[in-house]
């Protein structure tokens, strides 16, 4: 859902603390919600991926249960402290936060897990945000 992806992007890219931890891309924080990531993007950066969606309807309302993976990546310098700090900031920004989403009210916002996604030369940490939203 484009509205949810935009709300996630706005929340992450607009946070001064997270901005200070990430590289910049085209004048803003290196937060990406489209793929592939641009070839000229420099680490560290955050990605918003992995959309999963199912209905969350009740007798009196229409809703959706949506999950996104939020990937945090940094250069492998021998220490994963920065990527872990980025991941914790992402969690702080999203867990139990009522995202302002056009036409929806947030019922549940929970961030879970940490999946280690290290590759050659790159540290990666992925968390999942689950949002249950109701149409207004």
| Ranges of the chain whose pLDDT falls below 50 | none
pLDDT of residue 88: 98
What CATH architecture does domain 2-135 belong to?
Answer: 2-Layer Sandwich (3.30)
pLDDT of residue 51: 87
Of 39, 23, 15, 14, which is closest to residue 75 (Cα–Cα)?
A: 23
d(CA 24, CA 31): 9
What residue ranges do the domains of the chain occupy? 2-135
pLDDT in tens, 75-88: 999 999 999 999 99
pLDDT in tens, 105-123: 999 999 999 999 999 999 9
Reported pTM: 0.95
> What does 16-27 look like in DSSP terms, one character per residue?
HHHHHHS-EETT
């Amino acid at each position: 859902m484009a509205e949810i992806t935009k709300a996630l992007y706005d929340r992450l890219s607009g946070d001064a603390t997270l901005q200070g931890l990430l590289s910049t891309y085209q004048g803003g924080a290196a937060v990406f919600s489209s793929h592939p990531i641009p070839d000229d993007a420099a680490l560290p950066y955050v990605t918003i991926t992995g959309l999963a969606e199912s209905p969350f309807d009740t007798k009196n309302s229409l809703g959706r249960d949506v999950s996104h993976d939020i990937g945090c990546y940094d250069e492998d310098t021998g220490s994963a402290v920065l990527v872990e700090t980025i991941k914790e900031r992402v969690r702080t920004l999203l867990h139990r936060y009522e995202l302002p989403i056009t036409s929806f009210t947030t019922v549940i916002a929970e961030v879970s897990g940490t999946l280690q996604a290290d590759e050659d030369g790159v540290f990666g940490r992925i968390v999942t945000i689950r949002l249950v939203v109701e149409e207004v």
